[in-house]
Amino acid sequence: MFAQSEDQQVFESTSARFVESQYPAERVRALARAEAVFEAPLWREAAALGWTTLLVPESAGGGSLSGNGLADLLIVASLFGRHAAPGPLFGTNLVARALGTWGSADQQAGPLAEILAGDAVAAWGHRSACTATRSSTGVVVSGRVRSVESAADARYVLVSVDEPEGRSHVLVPLAAPGVALTPLKGVDQTRRFWDVTLDGVTLPGAAWVGAMGAAAEHDDELLDVASVLALGEMAGALHRAFAMTLDWVANRYSFGRPLNSYQEIKHRMADLRTQVEAAEAVAARAASLVGSGSGSGSGSGSGRALASAGMAHVGRHGPEAIQDCIQLHGGIGVTNDCDLHLFLRRTVLDANLYGSPAEFARRLGRLVVAQGVAG
Amino acid sequence: MFAQSEDQQVFESTSARFVESQYPAERVRALARAEAVFEAPLWREAAALGWTTLLVPESAGGGSLSGNGLADLLIVASLFGRHAAPGPLFGTNLVARALGTWGSADQQAGPLAEILAGDAVAAWGHRSACTATRSSTGVVVSGRVRSVESAADARYVLVSVDEPEGRSHVLVPLAAPGVALTPLKGVDQTRRFWDVTLDGVTLPGAAWVGAMGAAAEHDDELLDVASVLALGEMAGALHRAFAMTLDWVANRYSFGRPLNSYQEIKHRMADLRTQVEAAEAVAARAASLVGSGSGSGSGSGSGRALASAGMAHVGRHGPEAIQDCIQLHGGIGVTNDCDLHLFLRRTVLDANLYGSPAEFARRLGRLVVAQGVAG
Amino acid sequence: MSSTADVPADVPVEEFAARARAWLAENMPPADPTAGHFFFTDTSSRSDDHDLVRIDTCRRLQRLLHDGGFAGICVAPEYGGQGLTPAHQAAFNRELRGFDHPIEIQASTFIPCMAVLLEFGTEEQKLRHIPPMLKGEAIWAQLLSEPSGGSDAAGALTTATRDGDQWILNGSKIWTTGAWYSDWAMCLARTNWEVEKHRGLTVFALPLRTPGLEIHRIELLNGSVEFCQEFLTDVVVDDRDRIGDVDGGWTVMTRWLHHERTISGGSPYVTSTGRSHNAPNDGPRLAAVARELGTVDDPRALEIIGEARALTLVSDALVSSVTRKMQTGELPFHAAAMSRLFSGTSQVRKAALALELTGADGVMWEPGDDQRAGVGQSWLVRQAACIGGGTTEMARNVIAERLLGMPREARRDDGAFRDVPKGPR
Amino acid sequence: MSSTADVPADVPVEEFAARARAWLAENMPPADPTAGHFFFTDTSSRSDDHDLVRIDTCRRLQRLLHDGGFAGICVAPEYGGQGLTPAHQAAFNRELRGFDHPIEIQASTFIPCMAVLLEFGTEEQKLRHIPPMLKGEAIWAQLLSEPSGGSDAAGALTTATRDGDQWILNGSKIWTTGAWYSDWAMCLARTNWEVEKHRGLTVFALPLRTPGLEIHRIELLNGSVEFCQEFLTDVVVDDRDRIGDVDGGWTVMTRWLHHERTISGGSPYVTSTGRSHNAPNDGPRLAAVARELGTVDDPRALEIIGEARALTLVSDALVSSVTRKMQTGELPFHAAAMSRLFSGTSQVRKAALALELTGADGVMWEPGDDQRAGVGQSWLVRQAACIGGGTTEMARNVIAERLLGMPREARRDDGAFRDVPKGPR
């Protein structure tokens, strides 16, 4: 879907084969009911395919295919969407991006290398309400981080904390004393989340990631990247739900006619097809701009604007589009017997996890307003 | 549409004959381009039909047909909508309601009697930003009242002002020194509005209407009544736009088939028909509750709740429905050669004049929240 | 017959209402204001035992009504009813507000099953089946929809083949509410494949615990397992359990579907306040969610709460108005499709509003947080409101073709049913 | 021919772009960032004279381009063009950003009229008509739609009857952009009523100031009077002004409609930056309105501004992506209907968002308050975005039937056109 260059096409087909063989629908359905969804050996294989390195500079052990690692990673995100695949793709890459860009040499040699190799999973604690105080040996962090993906499987979580110099990032090992996890339930049964409580967790001074006071700005950059990944996953899920529905309306008969001969249904399929194309188009453009570094600009045509526009638009219309696919399926569509729900769950999660469509619209609105009359 | 009893049916047909004979579409189109739309002799005839008395108690010179004067007046409002008729129906009745309910004996013998007879037109200054100070002879009012309907044709405007005892109503004669009018342009070409500026307008102490400090509460009651009238007018306009469109799709052929044989169009007509029915139903129920005095209660099933629900719902979906009628007409629909626009203009005005659909939704939301967990 | 308080058929409504009021106060338990509907509640955290307990309660409450002389108010005394008028039933339903009552077994058992029996059953069938219904002893289900069927009830593939005084049924039925706890069912089957589809159908009554009939539970996206699918393999039904004429099933179905539609109001056979307490995603429920999230004073939250409440109020007004106009003849009975359409689409919209209110807090939640779980789960399953009981697409067809008189859709199913295209060649 | 700077056909694009850059800087006036589009601007406060002045400016700017060697970049030199490639035109269009240019006369004159002439015109017709177009001397209009026509271009009723070397045209055309100031027109007419509708059409060129041709202005709901309706009564056209074969008009139309659709991008004949500066109801315009109303910091206002901007950005991304995929063959050319659908519906939505932003302040305004007037007026006329240039309904048909291969709608117009139902019997 998103592969352009020959390198990307090879990467797409290798990755697709891996996802298809490891996560056929029956396996995803089984995992939805399983206690745990993470499988460490599989993730190491995934890392060997290159899924963990794309957002990291070569100097820090990473490397992209096309020069725009986010455009490359978009290919994997879209495959995840097409198959409702489980796996710590987002958090691991986001933290790798953070450590690769802002991490110290020690952090790159240590945690980042573990992440790149697929030995460690990481999570981005984007809903953090934590504070830090300095101690003689380092820093003591307390607070709550909500909705942390894969927390029980992850070795590290990147958390922004309020400290005297502003808001800064620390890398918290989840095995540290004082860390407690509360499992959450949710709409997507194969992506698992935990609330993480930090109660006086003591970290060395070397735990800071990036310049002190830079966390708000860095979180904003990570949000751009996360948005592109979510857009890719939603585009993949939409694509698949649409294809299933196109097939269904061709093969299902009512009153002696196939459903797809009814004009009202034809028009809805036309709308859905257009929404699928729009989702793919804005995902690709956002990846192109954010991944090439236009993401941190604040102009209303910048990468940040495109990422926010995509999340505002696809986040609103994508879940609605899959609901319409369900409606077109009739009763079977609202049951677990029909795979559509896998894509519905994945899409509505992505559409809200990092902020609601309304919040992304406001984010874009602020960019527009800040740009002034020039438009 | 809204007539139930035999009395109401007689009233409806008399009123309908008057509106149809005085305001055929060609006349309304001509008035849209005319300097002024108000005709005093016609309004006196209208008053003789009973259009000005329905919201006023018998003791104050008024009288209803059914015991619920607002349900009676809804019949006229709906006729106004069906014909996009001009005339100071709303403001006159709202001020009559205010003076009949809260006015002094002198106000009822004076201004109210003029209004009931059709000799004077009045306006409700619902967007008032005015203050009053007491003087030796009475009260001095300054400020601005926005969007005052028929101000150039009206003798009185009811205005709420900030004064030391709170927010209170005064009846301002528009001929008073210090009153200035600025004409506005707008979407509805046959309902005309002015901004009214009051610059040190001196009124006698007898100009106060109702208890001091009661204006906010009274304005809320008037808003309930105004909402019902707007709902009636929107329901009438929707009914007419739908009927025109039903006719159009039956008689217009495309590819050798009438438009109404295309399923997608059939389904949109079904949606439109349902919205028309919903608009009529909520208008009738709101009139029934508000007109019988359930309007001042704050429960979420009260008259106030129904009126707000109607304005939130019909105000949002009514204009959209008429836009869909236009879409079904194709090109001719966006021209002044097709009468649909008369109903579009009237509906979108009513949907926003007293507050946007979102503001009415919030008004209802506040009622729901105030009611607490009991629901 | 078995009622303890015999009421003369001409008792004035007010007198009857007063008696009901006194009786209810003395005999009926109060309603539980926190209880939700089966259907829209996530049952993944609720056991079958819990539901069975409630069904037993319903049976007991129904028996209580029966013994008090308030069951089958519009049903003739010879079948265990009271022989009174719809006005008496309506008065009773008004008095019922605030009291617990067997709401969960009204649909299916009384409408359409009992109503259809009253119209088409033989005297023997009525005497045999209706008294147990009114006593809460027999809960009935509808074996109507089929996996292949979609919106076309008349396209049933389940076949009944005559074998002397018996019929042998084979096929599959789906979307049967509560088949797993019900006792009997009314079933539509094809008895003739050589004629136009409406002319080859027959209706049967059959017990649900019978050889060859397997019941599977269907899991909905909110975790509910209330619906069932049935597989019929050589199920034997006596000819005396046939309802109506052989191949005359569509005549029965027309009334069956009519009675089914009266669930939203207007049926003389339903004992219910007509109020869905704690409707999901209505304004008050959203206000509670917003309170929990601490956003209840945000302008946008108030707007969402108000829009949701507005949909409920407008929907109620529409349904009442359409019902009244159908009664006075101002609108034909097909107008009921407008009520179906509006309530379906407004429920879907309310589910979307709820999620808009919560954002990230509606897609994941702490275990036990029923408010937020309700938002997410009912969002997932929301299209059920536009599918179950006839899709909104069918409602739009009915409005366009029957109410507005627009041209009918072309059909390819007017020949012998055997030859009707049922899938790609 | 008449260009002052002769460019060899194989000039590298970069070199050409550099020359264009220098030439533009020296010769072309800057764009007026406050100027809007004709169509979506309320012209009730704008005189025809104002529009005519602008049209004259366009003619002068076109002449300037021509004399500079930048008109008809992809048109052969023998017709007054430059004989270069689409890549050269695209490069020029990029350089054009920030400069005023004759945007208002690109559509119609160059696409489809000049493009159709290049494909179907005789050598004589091309030599006669194309040079005046490129010099800004001849503005062309399209006499295509008809009052009875709706979405069916092939259903033209305007009739051309042969009379020796001449044709006599009778009928009415509508939705002609700028006919009142244009010079020539291309006109579709029926020349044979006895065959299937597509097989009896012929295309003609004719001057707009000619006996028997009356032009009326149509007033849109925003006050615009840019569109015209024409009444043709015994209008005489020479056979040498026929474009293409007699009864071969549909072959011409297929390309005519194709070229018309390229207005959103991809045509080698359009000189334009492709950027609609000051698009109505886009985020920046709404931000300006919100600033005027003092609501620009309200969360809800920011949300509305953001949603509007998102629609623009997603629409742009979609159009670019579809255009690219059509060029690479990844999508068939019918995919352009997706761009048409999305941009139409998103413009409608943006108009609704603008009104939501303003509320009461968008339905009335002080005279001269163009911001608020723009909100109200463009809301009134908003459906034009889903009607003009082919309705969104037609776009959905094309997507469903051509792109997705779903079954075609039944037609009742496949016999002799004389017998096709055109209205109720």
Q: Tell me the domains of chain C and their CATH numbers.
A: 13-104+130-137 (1.10.540), 279-403 (1.20.140.10)
Q: Which of residues 223-262 of B touch A (CB under 8 A)?
A: 262
Q: Cβ of A266 under 8 Å from any chain B Cβ? A: yes
Enumerate the residues of chain D whose CB falls inside 8 A of the CB of residue C303.
Answer: 300
Contact B298, B213 (CB under 8 A): no
**Residue A105: what are its φ and ψ, rounded to 5°?**
-60, -40
**A187–C364 CB contact, under 8 Å:** yes
* Closest chain D CA to residue C303: D300
Dist. CA B48–CA B69, nearest whole Å: 16
Cβ contacts below 8 Å, chain A against chain D, sum to 151
Cβ contacts below 8 Å, chain B against chain D, sum to 131
What DSSP string runs through D299-310?
HHHHHHHHHHHH
- Minimal Cα–Cα distance from C375 to chain A, Å? 10
Q: Which of residues 304-333 of A touch D (CB under 8 A)?
A: 305-306, 308-310, 312-314
Residue with tokens 């003798």: B155
Instruction: Please report the pLDDT score of residue D200 as a whole number.
Output: 96
| pLDDT tens by residue, chain A, 375 residues | 899 999 999 999 999 999 999 999 999 999 999 999 999 999 999 999 999 999 999 999 999 999 999 999 999 999 999 999 999 999 999 999 999 999 999 999 999 999 999 999 999 999 999 999 998 889 999 999 999 999 999 999 999 999 988 999 999 999 999 999 999 999 999 999 999 999 999 999 999 999 999 999 999 999 999 999 999 999 999 999 999 999 999 999 999 999 999 999 999 999 999 999 999 999 999 999 999 987 556 676 799 999 999 999 999 999 999 999 999 999 999 999 999 999 999 999 999 999 999 999 999 999 999 986 443
**Residue A351: what are its φ and ψ, rounded to 5°?**
-70, -15
Task: Give the pLDDT band of residue D10 (cuts 50, 70, 90).
Answer: confident
Max intra-chain CA distance, chain A: 80
- Secondary-structure class of domain A215-374 per CATH: mainly alpha
- Minimal Cα–Cα distance from D241 to chain A, Å? 40
Q: Over the stretch B278-307, which tens digit does the pLDDT of each residue have?
A: 999 999 999 999 999 875 566 667 999 999
- Minimal Cα–Cα distance from B355 to chain A, Å? 23
Dist. CA D373–CA D356, nearest whole Å: 14
* Closest chain B CA to residue D412: B256
**B323–D365 CB contact, under 8 Å:** no
Q: Cβ of B269 under 8 Å from any chain C Cβ? A: yes
Task: Give the pLDDT band of residue C6 (cuts 50, 70, 90).
Answer: low
Nearest to B333 among D367, D379, D383 (CB): D383
* Closest chain B CA to residue A266: B264
Cβ contacts below 8 Å, chain A against chain C, sum to 130
Enumerate the residues of chain B whose CB falls inside 8 A of the CB of residue C278.
Answer: 375
Chain centroid offset of residue A333 CA = 26
CATH 1.10.540.10: does it fit domain B6-116? yes
Q: Over the stretch D247-269, which tens digit does the pLDDT of each residue have?
A: 999 999 999 988 987 776 778 99
- Minimal Cα–Cα distance from B113 to chain D, Å? 31
Q: Give, as one character, the DSSP assignment of residue C37.
A: -
**C391–A254 CB contact, under 8 Å:** no
- Chain A: list its partners (3+ Cβ pairs within 8 Å): B, C, D
**CA-wise closest residue to A90 among A358, A364, A350:** A350
Helices (H) and strands (E) in chain A, counts: 12, 10
- Minimal Cα–Cα distance from D259 to chain A, Å? 22
- Domain A122-209: which CATH number of 2.60.40.1180, 1.10.10.10, 3.40.50.1110, 2.40.110.10: 2.40.110.10
Residue B142, burial from CB neighbour count under 10 angstroms (0-12, 13-18, 19+): middle
Dist. CA D72–CA D82, nearest whole Å: 6
- Chain C: list its partners (3+ Cβ pairs within 8 Å): A, B, D
Contact B130, B142 (CB under 8 A): yes
Give the least confident one: B63-77, C140-154, D25-39, D197-211: D25-39
Q: Cβ of A182 under 8 Å from any chain C Cβ? A: yes
**D306–A368 CB contact, under 8 Å:** yes
How much is the ipTM here? 0.94
Instruction: Please report the pLDDT score of residue A374 as a whole number.
Output: 45
Q: Over the stretch A195-235, which tens digit does the pLDDT of each residue have?
A: 999 999 999 999 999 999 999 999 999 999 999 999 999 99
**A251–C380 CB contact, under 8 Å:** no
**Residue B30: what are its φ and ψ, rounded to 5°?**
-70, -40
Q: Give, as one character, the DSSP assignment of residue C406.
A: P
Choose, out of C39, C44, C221, the residue to mutate when testing the contact with A (most A CBs < 10 Å): C221
Nearest to B256 among D356, D382, D412 (CB): D412
Enumerate the residues of chain D whose CB falls inside 8 A of the CB of residue B356.
Answer: 356, 359-360
Nearest to C305 among B282, B310, B368 (CB): B368
Instruction: Please report the pLDDT score of residue C39 as a whole number.
Output: 44
Q: Please, what is the average pLDDT of chain C?
A: 92
Q: Cβ of A267 under 8 Å from any chain D Cβ? A: yes
Contact C200, C190 (CB under 8 A): yes
Residue with tokens 């002034």: A372
- Chain D: list its partners (3+ Cβ pairs within 8 Å): A, B, C
Dist. CA B23–CA B16, nearest whole Å: 10
Enumerate the residues of chain D whose CB falls inside 8 A of the CB of residue C306.
Answer: none
The yes-or-no verdict on residue D184 having pLDDT over 90 is yes
**A253–C393 CB contact, under 8 Å:** no
Tokens of D413: 């117009």
**B187–D356 CB contact, under 8 Å:** no
* Closest chain A CA to residue C369: A185
Enumerate the residues of chain D whose CB falls inside 8 A of the CB of residue B358.
Answer: 300, 356, 359
Domain ranges in chain A?
Answer: 6-116, 122-209, 215-374
Dist. CA D40–CA D43, nearest whole Å: 9
Task: Give the pLDDT band of residue D40 (cuts 50, 70, 90).
Answer: very low
Fold match between B6-116 and B122-209? no
Task: Give the pLDDT band of residue D45 (cuts 50, 70, 90).
Answer: low
Q: For chain D, how far is it from start to end, CA to CA, in angstroms?
A: 58
Contact A148, A94 (CB under 8 A): no
The answer for residues whose C-beta is within 8 angstroms of residue A47's C-beta and 6 or more apart is: A53, A116, A117, A118
Nearest to B362 among C306, C341, C393 (CB): C306
- Minimal Cα–Cα distance from A350 to chain C, Å? 9
Sign of the alpha-carbon dihedral angle for A338, A340, A342, A344: negative
Task: Give the pLDDT band of residue C153 (cuts 50, 70, 90).
Answer: confident
Instruction: Please report the pLDDT score of residue C36 as a whole number.
Output: 55
**C313–B250 CB contact, under 8 Å:** no
Enumerate the residues of chain D whose CB falls inside 8 A of the CB of residue B193.
Answer: 364
Tokens of B52: 């000005």
* List of E strands, C40-156: 107-108, 111-112, 140-143
Task: Give the pLDDT band of residue D2 (cuts 50, 70, 90).
Answer: very low
* Closest chain B CA to residue A264: B264
Q: Give, as one character, the DSSP assignment of residue A176.
A: S
Residue with tokens 């698949």: A240
**CA-wise closest residue to D157 among D204, D191, D108:** D191
Contact C189, C201 (CB under 8 A): yes
**B262–A266 CB contact, under 8 Å:** no
Q: Cβ of B9 under 8 Å from any chain D Cβ? A: no
State what percent of residues in chain A have pLDDT above 90.
Answer: 94
The whole-number average pLDDT for the span C232-244 is 98
Sign of the alpha-carbon dihedral angle for A253, A257, A260, A264: negative
Enumerate the residues of chain D whose CB falls inside 8 A of the CB of residue B327.
Answer: 383, 386-387, 391-393
Instruction: Please report the pLDDT score of residue A220 as a whole number.
Output: 96
Q: What is the pTM of this model?
A: 0.94
